[in-house]
Structure 1
Amino acid sequence: MSDDGGAVAVSEREDESGETRRPWYRRRPLRILSWAGTAGVLAYTLNRLFGLETGFFLVTTVAFAPYFVIAAIVGAGVQAAVRHWAAAAVTAAAAVALAIVMVPRVVADDQPAAGGVELTVMSVNLYVGNADFDHIMDLVEEYQPDLLSVQELTPGAPDAFTERGLDELMPYTILEPDDLAIGTGLYSRYPLERIETVGRDAIFYQIAAEIDMPEGTDVRFMAAHPAAPASPERIPLWEEDFEQLPRPDGGLPWVLAGDFNATLDHENMRELLDSGYVDAAEATGEGLDATWQPTEGYLSGLVKIPAVTLDHVIAQDGIEVLDWEVLDKDGSDHAPVVAHLRLP
């Protein structure tokens, strides 16, 4: 449209009846949909930032926060493309706030100058005995862990490991095999004594022990496996299991390793770390490395649940984290993990 030879941009036009029409990108249904998306992003961000997750839906969805950051940025871009600037600004601000809390996971932390012996810790989840035992033994022989936490230890698993020589490499054990995902095992290169007062009331077996390390630098260790928040009925059990996990108490230092069924975005996991622990993956700047993804998907495997980080090694403050690695998995939905530590 022009006036006196000058061209001016207009945002509204008249149709043949003389009524004013808005451009398609300013029409009310599109704007309502855009604001609804922004409201969802804002609600998700506030839920994560303030640890508001309760109930099955919020507990499970907060695990995918890293992916949500990407989705929110894409959403803000779409809103900008349709010139919905106000909604785009709010969505982008929420995405940035959510991304900021992820930064510590990709930036290595300064480590304490520990002077004790080095300790290698490995964790494997057998996926109810479906994992490839030969593959696990290859990893044990390669990384030579001092302590091995085994989750979902089925009744036949200890014999399978014995046949492959694990008992010769790690002769000290506390094993509680059971059906389904309940069983747990702890293998050690050094003498150990079970701590009977910790981890006994969880839905899955959890094993705590004092490890008699060389040079007198003893340590307390737990093969951890809190309940999975896989249904609304399991959420209270999952929360109770986290409350029962050991906290630093001024005694021997603790190291916990296993399938925690929680990511660093879950409030109960963050509270556990705040009690005096450091996550080995986050400490080394590898905190976004995923460890779990279902082996099967939907629509004949074409659609899969995104991979997330459920397996952790957490060490009490004062223990130096030297290295962390997520290893290749074979037959399990969980990848084995290994951490190299130095005790105070």
Structure 2
Amino acid sequence: MTTILGTVAIIALLWTALSALPAGLEARMPLPYMIALTPLLWVPLVVLAAFAAWQREWSVMSLLIVAALFASSHRLNYWGTSIDPAGKRKESHRETPRETSANTQNINNSSNTDTTVTVSSSTIDANRETSRETYVNTHNISDPNAGPSAAASSSGTASTSREALDAASNLSSKASESTRTTLPTQFTVMTLNCRYGRADANDIIANIRKRGISVLALQEVTDELIARLTEAGLNELLPYHQFGEAKDTDNGGFNVLYSAYEPGASVPNVVSIPAADVPAITLRIADQAKMPPASTSTNGTTIRIAANPSTTTQAHPDRTITFCSAHPKSPMRGCADWSAGILGLREITKARSIAHHNIAVVMGDLNSSTDHPSFRALLKSGFKDASLTQAAGPNLTFPRWLKWPRIELDHVLFTPGVRPSQVKSFEIKDTDHLALVATLALR
């Protein structure tokens, strides 16, 4: 019996060690699925440890408990606890230098003259004339130099994707008397995988109303779902949107963003990954409300980018938040593409504008958790996870039809500049994922 229990403990330790592989090396079947199940190993291990104690096998019992702790190590972080205190301290101090460095980085952005970018009205939604557009009025503005066709190209390089994000993040929306042109200092976002477009549209709308959602990210969307959402009144609640381009290679459907606030810019694909397009919208935030109106011309809209922003992070007159809806492929659709999709999202944090003073928020079904090395590499690139940062426990999102066991595959990620709260998962009818909401407050 001692030999059997000891062997089980060693196998469990080797299993948990898979989470320590370098990012990308876990992209081989069945490793992604084994790693995803690692947080659940503590249950049988604790049972076996209790049995070992009953047999007075104290050394084996201790080994089983150690294995259970290691299996739970990443999930313990969701309560602000870690069995690796040194690693936790390192992570907790990583954000501060990034935020404070924004002041010195902005020196490179300073000049004595303003830069003016003109967006022709003919470029507005030039590439969005699809059948689903007959249901929804759009107000998107795309940069002509890094617009939809460039960003959506499957052969686009990482630098091209970063240029698209830089263009989107640095554009300010046209002046308006409407109070819907700037995002408030605190707002709520929601993300949901719609399971091949089958999600209940009325349930989605009810939760948008109930929870006061300002920005909605949907994955696995179909034209039929867009029609049902429109009929249910989504456009009255969130009148602005950006869709990813639908392709035959999409993993379950295309990705969508809806907003209650008018975007200053948007692109259908901000970073090229081997999965559905990653649409992005850029919103101005409330501290821009005192900006003078942008000038306009008869040929289009002139958008002025601030040339010498303030030296404090919160006081940039042109500060923006760029929201992205992402859905890397599942390992079942190809392990290499699965890992490459997750790691590819790191390019968003490398955008010059994000590094300077703006914020990026990535929402979606990322088909990974903190146990996966590829996902942890994504966090190390500059993102924070809302659920992890809140430190009130995990918000498990898959599968919906089981109360236990569940894993956390859906995430709200953000670069420094916001603080999350009220992060919570909840059920939506007719889909296999739980929805995830988070309230984000500007720092």
TM-score category (smaller protein):
0.7 to 0.9
CA shift in 2, pair 1:190/1:341, >3 Å: same
Indicate the residue corresponding to 2:163 in structure 1.
Answer: none
- 5 Å matches for 1:254-273? 254-273=360-379
Aligned residue type for 2:373: E
Is 2:30 the counterpart of 1:57? yes
How far is the alpha carbon of 1:74 from its aligned partner? 1.7
Distance in 2, matches of 1:287 and 1:224, equals 23
Q: Secondary structure at the match of 1:212?
A: strand
How far is the alpha carbon of 1:223 from its aligned partner? 0.5
Indicate the residue corresponding to 2:62 in structure 1.
Answer: 89
CA shift in 2, pair 1:73/1:54, >3 Å: farther
Q: Secondary structure at the match of 2:369?
A: coil
Q: Secondary structure at the match of 2:202?
A: helix
Distance in 2, matches of 1:295 and 1:103, equals 24
Distance in 1, matches of 2:238 and 2:269, equals 24
For structure 2, which runs of at least 5 residues remain unmatched after alignment?
Answer: 82-91, 100-183, 289-318
Distance in 1, matches of 2:366 and 2:225, equals 21
Q: RMSD between aligned alpha carbons?
A: 2.7
Tell me the TM-score normalised to structure 2 length.
Answer: 0.63
183-192 or 214-223, which deviates more: 214-223
Is 2:270 the counterpart of 1:198? yes
Aligned residue type for 1:213: I
Distance in 2, matches of 1:337 and 1:102, equals 17
1:318 aligns with one of 397, 402, 417: 417
Indicate the residue corresponding to 2:399 in structure 1.
Answer: 293
Aligned residue type for 1:189: A
- 5 Å matches for 1:1-344? 30-50=1-21, 53-107=26-80, 117-176=185-244, 178=246, 181-192=252-263, 193-195=265-267, 198-216=270-288, 217-230=319-332, 234-245=334-345, 246-249=348-351, 250-251=355-356, 252-293=358-399, 295=401, 306-344=405-443
Contact in 1 for aligned 2:27/2:339 (Cα 8 Å): no
CA shift in 2, pair 1:176/1:277, >3 Å: closer
Distance in 2, matches of 1:209 and 1:58, equals 35
Q: Secondary structure at the match of 1:244?
A: helix
The count of residues paired between Structure 1 and Structure 2 equals 304
Distance in 2, matches of 1:53 and 1:107, equals 26
Distance in 1, matches of 2:45 and 2:350, equals 38
Distance in 1, matches of 2:45 and 2:416, equals 34
Contact in 2 for aligned 1:35/1:87 (Cα 8 Å): yes
Distance in 2, matches of 1:170 and 1:210, equals 15
CA shift in 2, pair 1:130/1:336, >3 Å: same
CA shift in 2, pair 1:49/1:255, >3 Å: same
Aligned residue type for 2:274: A
Aligned residue type for 1:77: A
How far is the alpha carbon of 1:323 from its aligned partner? 2.1
CA shift in 2, pair 1:242/1:207, >3 Å: same
1:11-54 CA-to-partner distances (Å, cap 9, x unmatched) read xxxxxxxxxxxxxxxxxxx3332232112111012222455634
How far is the alpha carbon of 1:66 from its aligned partner? 2.3
Contact in 2 for aligned 1:278/1:316 (Cα 8 Å): yes
Indicate the residue corresponding to 1:8 in structure 2.
Answer: none
How far is the alpha carbon of 1:331 from its aligned partner? 1.0
How far is the alpha carbon of 1:196 from its aligned partner? 6.2
Contact in 1 for aligned 2:397/2:409 (Cα 8 Å): yes
Distance in 2, matches of 1:212 and 1:222, equals 15
Structure of larger gyration radius = 1
Distance in 2, matches of 1:101 and 1:175, equals 34
Q: Secondary structure at the match of 2:189?
A: strand
Identity of aligned residues (%): 25
How far is the alpha carbon of 1:294 from its aligned partner? 5.9
CA shift in 2, pair 1:330/1:188, >3 Å: same
Indicate the residue corresponding to 1:10 in structure 2.
Answer: none
283-292 or 311-320, which deviates more: 283-292
Distance in 2, matches of 1:166 and 1:290, equals 26
Distance in 2, matches of 1:185 and 1:228, equals 18
Q: Secondary structure at the match of 1:55?
A: coil
Contact in 2 for aligned 1:294/1:305 (Cα 8 Å): no
41-50 or 192-201, which deviates more: 192-201
Aligned residue type for 1:226: P
CA shift in 2, pair 1:70/1:295, >3 Å: closer
Distance in 1, matches of 2:41 and 2:17, equals 13
How far is the alpha carbon of 1:248 from its aligned partner? 4.8
1:185-226 CA-to-partner distances (Å, cap 9, x unmatched) read 110112222246623443222212322334324111110111
Contact in 2 for aligned 1:182/1:205 (Cα 8 Å): no
Distance in 2, matches of 1:208 and 1:242, equals 16
Contact in 2 for aligned 1:199/1:208 (Cα 8 Å): no
